[in-house]
Structure 1
């Protein structure tokens, strides 16, 4: 199922739906694994002009955080 199809089934007029849509879009845009997405906190997100800077801890494919 494509991201657009998933998002079409979410009621984004509610806080819960808006949160779900944001998590799906962030996970897709950053190619995050479910565990990486679930582990995020607000401290990991840094607002920037035009978007967000995402600070990830060590990941499965980058355990030493070398980028």
Structure 2
């Protein structure tokens, strides 16, 4: 399973979660924010990997 499939799965679970207490919604929102940050890190890493692979494919 790719990271973006796991991300979509986790965000779906969080969005559909029913908080038991009022504070729980705030925690779920914080988790969503953390997941978005992680997603951006993965996207940056993927872009870096593509750039590095292009450089090694064409060393001249």
Normalising by structure 2, what TM-score? 0.35
User: Taking CA–CA contacts closer than 8 Å with sequence separation of 6 or more, which of the two structures ends up with the larger relative contact order?
Assistant: 2
User: Which structure: larger Rg?
Assistant: 2
